């Protein structure tokens, strides 16, 4: 069956837009952007035996950034936690940042020595990290001018904004690419009548859809691999995780995107209306899902939209694997949500395809 | 005569948001093995819809169709192996060559490789496209596409060929060529079913003609008998006599 579809897909693929588009995007947005973040989940591990740290903690709890009405930190308190335990909390995205106040904090201040606090942040999100570190420095300086040392260990190697951007741009590219090329294929074959010819053969509709899906999976995976390699070679982007997991995320995600492409194109009368309808679905994904800026930095209402869009979960999973180098457990939640989305979209698509085409 | 297609009480209702449109209204007829069967009727009469149901593309609302002893409802995949449908549009992949288009169809119908190559060569020669076999069809002229489209539909050697308006909008030379081809297929023993706007074509070429109007079958007989019963000299007159003079679009 697959063999029979090979010819169908031997159409010449437009290589330039396929690869140039995401690279331009990385370069274009790659120069970072400032802004503020709020509702940052901060875990304070206060091991201090004395009371001097209370002032600092208070300061953090009430801090409101300029140009904002909301508190910057959403704080949870604990004590007696090792740094590696704290790192796990970041890796699993339970907390965005962990501040560790050492046992001798008050002691050292009393002796006029410089205490050293450690800040762990989710460095896969370079923008938020930059803002959090900067804010933390300010607050520390205000609390005890010139005395407290802040250490920020590199959890995932030294990262730039582009490291944050690349995993999501790849997910975005795969999403756009799949919806568009599946859609064009179906809408085009409808427009020129070839799909009727195919449906007249003994090949079932299920097999036609299956063929299209396999084709997209192969195409998109190949594309993702090339893009990641290019990003590593050209921009020195970090790839800390497993290629296999990246493939797994993209396979599940592409599956849903194929469904979306089929559904939209089966519903639209011709090429032009397909373009318009698909824009309606794909553009919000681009801006509301934390591709270019962290979800913590966008307004609440936008974040709620983001949580409804599958790309959000693909971005998250891609970053967890590619930057944080985590295993399947860390992305299980994202994968399950993606899988549910994909199955729903795909079954709706098959239904529409059977009815409309 | 042996019946190859049997249509009984066939009905198709299209439901849109507000209205119901009865495109085909309880029609029954038989088509015999080896004949050339024509369907004529004004625009919107339901010819294409009837075709679509006979070729398993559209599910009937009511009634039954047996094609070569198989039920369209239950055995549609088997039926599709036995029929060839020439689509109204040319329906070729522009970025495949003529030969690749044919091979694609052959593969989808599971034609063995060796047999397929023989047939491809034979048919390409038959429609004078042999010298263009390795060109992309995107650059073909309308007539060339038309010819290739026809042989794409029969590469699996079907018993029955369905052909919806094969000659509409073509120049007389191409029409002539298409008819020659149709006669050739018929001589090979294939049953031919087609729709047309051109009465003289139906008159000249068909063994029997069905006239449809507003979803109903209003007449079915040989061209001679149709003319005799309505006392007309041409099929065109019979047609106007049966379907009225108003223009439909
Ligand atoms: N998919 C469809 N949905 C709704 N109405 C349709 C559809 N296909 C055909 N019709 C309607 O059914 C009627 C018969 O159409 P058709 O079979 O194409 O006629 P013909 O081929 O004889 O010109 C027309 O009124 C047409 O508008
Ligand atoms: Mg028609």
Task: Report the C-alpha gap between B83 and A18 in whole angstroms.
Answer: 40
Span of A175-189, A309-323, B55-69, B73-87 with lowest mean pLDDT: A175-189
Instruction: For residue A95, give the CATH number of its domain.
Output: 3.40.1710.10
The residues near A95 (Cβ < 8 Å, ≥ 6 apart) are: A41, A42, A43, A76, A89, A122
How would you list the strands of the sheet with B160-164, edge to edge?
B83-86, B160-164, B191-195, B36-40, B208-213, B216-221
Mean pLDDT of all residues belonging to chain A: 82
Average pLDDT over residues B79-83: 92
A9 in a structural domain:
no
Segment A31-61, tens digit of pLDDT: 444 466 778 899 999 988 888 888 888 888 8
pLDDT, position B190: 95
Mark yes or no for CB contact B89/A4 under 8 Å: no
Contacts of A102-107 with CB under 8 Å at 24 or more apart are A102/A47, A102/A48, A103/A47, A103/A48, A103/A49, A104/A48, A104/A49, A105/A47, A105/A48, A105/A50, A105/A52, A105/A53, A106/A48, A106/A49, A106/A50, A106/A51, A106/A52, A106/A53, A107/A49, A107/A50
Mark yes or no for CB contact A12/B105 under 8 Å: no
Average pLDDT over residues A302-325: 89
Is the domain of A204 the same as that of A230? yes
Q: What band does A27 get if pLDDT is binned at 50, 70 and 90?
A: low
Mark yes or no for CB contact A12/B95 under 8 Å: yes
A11 in a structural domain:
no
Task: For residue A7, give the nearest of B89, B90, B107 by CB distance.
Answer: B107
Which residue on chain B is closest to A202 by alpha carbon? B77
Kindly calculate the radius of gyration of chain B based on its CA atoms and give it in whole angstroms. Answer: 18
Q: What band does B249 get if pLDDT is binned at 50, 70 and 90?
A: low
Is the domain of A135 the same as that of A183? no
Query: B80: CA distance to ligand 1 center in Å?
Result: 22
Of A119, A151, A183, the residue that ends a domain is A151
Is the domain of A116 the same as that of A95? yes
Average pLDDT over residues A222-244: 87
CB atoms within 10 A of CB A313: 26
Nearest CA to ligand 1 atom 7: B14
Of A125, A151, A177, the residue that ends a domain is A151
Of A151, A180, A215, the residue that ends a domain is A151
Among A134, A129, A197, CA closest to B80:
A197
User: Of the ligands numbered here, which is closest to the C-alpha atom of B43?
Assistant: 1
Among A8, A54, A68, A52, CA closest to A208:
A8
Is the domain of A54 the same as that of A78? yes
Is the domain of A216 the same as that of A328? yes
Report CA B219 to chain centroid distance, whole Å: 19
Task: Report the C-alpha gap between A123 and A121 in whole angstroms.
Answer: 6
> Does residue A158 have a pLDDT over 80?
no
CB atoms within 10 A of CB A244: 10
Side-chain-side CA neighbours of A122 within 13 Å: the count stands at 25
pLDDT, position A14: 43
Task: Report the C-alpha gap between A349 and A2 in whole angstroms.
Answer: 21
Q: At what angle do helices A328-356 and A205-235 cross, to 10 degrees?
A: 140
Among B204, B197, B134, CA closest to B166:
B197
What is the domain extent for residue A45? 40-151
Pocket (CB within 6 angstroms of ligand 1): B 14, 21, 23, 41, 43-49
Sequential DSSP letters for B225-242: HHHHHTT-SSHHHHHHHH
A20 in a structural domain:
no
From the alpha carbon of B215, which atom of ligand 1 is closest? 14
Average pLDDT over residues A296-315: 83
CB B238 within 8 A of CB B211: yes
pLDDT, position A5: 53
Taking contacts as CB-CB distances below 8 angstroms, the residues of chain B near A202 are: 77-78, 80-81, 108-110
Segment B157-212, tens digit of pLDDT: 999 999 988 877 778 888 888 888 899 999 999 999 999 878 888 888 899 999 99
User: Of the ligands numbered here, which is closest to the C-alpha atom of B23?
Assistant: 1
> Does residue A318 have a pLDDT over 90?
yes
Task: Report the C-alpha gap between A100 and A290 in whole angstroms.
Answer: 28
Q: What per-residue string of b and e applies to B101-123 under the rule 16 or more CB within 10 Å gives b?
A: bbbbbbbbbebeeeebeebbeeb
Is the domain of A146 the same as that of A285? no
Segment B212-242, tens digit of pLDDT: 999 999 999 999 998 888 888 888 888 888 8
The residues near B37 (Cβ < 8 Å, ≥ 6 apart) are: B31, B191, B192, B193, B194, B206, B207, B208, B209, B210
Mark yes or no for CB contact A193/B87 under 8 Å: yes
Task: For residue B103, give the nearest of A7, A199, A203 by CB distance.
Answer: A7
ipTM above 0.90, yes or no: no
Residues with CB under 5 A from ligand 2 (ion): B 48
Nearest CA to ligand 1 atom 2: B14
Task: For residue B87, give the nearest of A4, A8, A196 by CB distance.
Answer: A196
Is the domain of A196 the same as that of A310? yes
A6 in a structural domain:
no
> Does residue A1 have a pLDDT over 50?
no
Q: Chain B contact for A13, CB < 8 A? A: no
Segment B57-80, tens digit of pLDDT: 888 999 999 999 999 988 888 999
pLDDT, position A12: 42
Task: Report the C-alpha gap between B164 and B90 in whole angstroms.
Answer: 12
Is the domain of A115 the same as that of A216? no
Mark yes or no for CB contact A201/B109 under 8 Å: yes
Average pLDDT over residues A81-100: 89
Cα dist from B142 to A207, B92, B100, B169, whole Å: 31, 11, 18, 11
pLDDT, position B245: 67
Is the domain of A146 the same as that of A165? no
A13 in a structural domain:
no
Is the domain of A139 the same as that of A167? no
Is the domain of A76 the same as that of A207? no
Residue of A8 and B207 predicted with greater confidence:
B207
Q: Chain A contact for B90, CB < 8 A? A: yes
A139 in a structural domain:
yes
Residue of A133 and A37 predicted with greater confidence:
A133
> Does residue A94 have a pLDDT over 70?
yes
pLDDT, position B38: 95
Segment B24-46, tens digit of pLDDT: 999 999 999 999 999 998 888 99
Q: How far is A267 from chain B (nearest CA, A)?
A: 15
Q: Chain A contact for B145, CB < 8 A? A: no
CB atoms within 10 A of CB A351: 12
CB A188 within 8 A of CB A357: no
Average pLDDT over residues B143-156: 90
**Number of domains, chain A:** 2
Is the domain of A173 the same as that of A143? no
Which alpha helices (DSSP H) does chain A contain, by range?
2-8, 15-29, 53-62, 83-91, 105-110, 126-143, 161-192, 194-200, 205-235, 243-267, 271-288, 300-308, 310-322, 328-356
Facing residues of B217 across strands?
A: B212
pLDDT, position A185: 82
Strands B62-67 and B160-164: unpaired
pLDDT, position B207: 94
Element (H, E) at B36: strand B36-40
Report CA A339 to chain centroid distance, whole Å: 16
CB A165 within 8 A of CB A333: no
């Amino acid at each position: 069956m697959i063999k029979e579809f090979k010819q169908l897909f031997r159409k010449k693929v437009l290589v330039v837009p396929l690869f140039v588009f995401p690279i331009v995007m990385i370069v274009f947005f790659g120069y970072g952007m400032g802004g503020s973040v709020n509702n940052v989940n901060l875990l304070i591990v206060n091991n201090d035996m004395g009371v001097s740290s209370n002032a600092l903690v208070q300061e953090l709890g009430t801090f409101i950034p300029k140009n904002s009405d909301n508190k910057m930190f959403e704080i949870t308190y604990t004590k007696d936690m090792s740094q590696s335990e704290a790192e796990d909390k970041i890796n699993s995205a339970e907390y965005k940042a962990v501040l560790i106040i050492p046992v001798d904090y008050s002691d050292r201040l009393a002796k006029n020595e410089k205490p050293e606090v450690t800040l762990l942040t989710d460095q896969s999100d370079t923008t938020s990290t930059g803002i959090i570190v900067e804010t933390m420095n300010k607050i520390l300086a205000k609390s005890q001018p010139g005395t407290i040392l802040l250490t920020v260990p590199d959890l995932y190697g030294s990262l730039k904004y582009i490291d944050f951007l690349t995993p999501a741009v790849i997910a975005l590219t795969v999403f756009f690419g799949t919806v568009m090329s599946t859609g064009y294929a179906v809408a085009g074959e409808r427009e020129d009548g070839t799909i009727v010819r195919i449906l007249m053969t003994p090949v079932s509709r299920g097999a036609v859809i299956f063929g299209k899906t396999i084709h997209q999976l192969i195409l998109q995976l190949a594309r993702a691999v090339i893009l990641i390699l290019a990003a590593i070679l050209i921009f020195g982007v970090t790839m800390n995780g497993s290629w296999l997991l990246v493939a797994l995320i993209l396979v599940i995600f592409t599956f849903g995107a194929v469904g979306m492409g089929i559904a939209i194109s089966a519903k639209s009368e011709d090429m032009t209306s397909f373009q318009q309808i698909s824009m309606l679905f794909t553009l919000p994904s681009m801006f509301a899902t934390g591709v270019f800026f962290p979800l913590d930095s966008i307004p609440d209402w936008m974040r709620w939209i983001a949580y409804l869009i599958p790309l959000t979960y693909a971005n998250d999973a891609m970053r967890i694997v590619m930057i944080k180098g985590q295993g399947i457990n860390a992305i299980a939640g994202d994968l399950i949500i993606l899988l549910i989305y994909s199955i729903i979209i795909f079954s709706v698509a098959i239904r529409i395809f059977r009815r409309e085409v | 005569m042996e019946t190859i297609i049997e249509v009984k009480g066939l009905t198709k209702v299209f439901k849109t948001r507000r209205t119901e449109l009865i495109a085909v209204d309880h029609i029954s007829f038989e088509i015999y093995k080896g004949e050339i069967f024509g369907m004529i009727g004004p625009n919107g009469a339901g010819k294409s819809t009837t075709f679509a149901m006979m070729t398993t593309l559209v599910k009937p609302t009511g009634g039954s169709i047996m094609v070569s002893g198989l039920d369209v409802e239950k055995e549609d995949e088997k039926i599709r192996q036995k029929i060839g449908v020439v689509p109204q549009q040319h329906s070729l992949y522009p970025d495949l060559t003529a030969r690749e288009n044919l091979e694609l169809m052959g593969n989808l119908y599971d034609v063995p490789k060796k047999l397929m190559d023989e047939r491809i060569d034979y048919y390409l020669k038959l429609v004078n496209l042999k010298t263009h076999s390795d060109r992309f069809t995107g650059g073909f002229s309308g007539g060339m596409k038309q010819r290739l489209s026809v042989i794409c539909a029969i590469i699996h050697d079907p018993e029955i060929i369905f052909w919806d308006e094969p000659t509409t909008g073509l120049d007389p030379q191409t029409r002539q060529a298409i008819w020659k081809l149709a006669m050739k297929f018929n001589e090979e023993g294939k049953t031919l079913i087609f729709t047309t706007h051109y009465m003289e074509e139906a008159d000249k070429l068909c063994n029997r003609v069905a006239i449809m109007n507003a979803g109903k079958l209003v007449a079915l007989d040989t061209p001679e008998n149709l003319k005799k019963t309505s006392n007309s000299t041409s099929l065109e007159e019979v047609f106007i006599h049966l379907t009225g003079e108003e223009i439909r679009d």
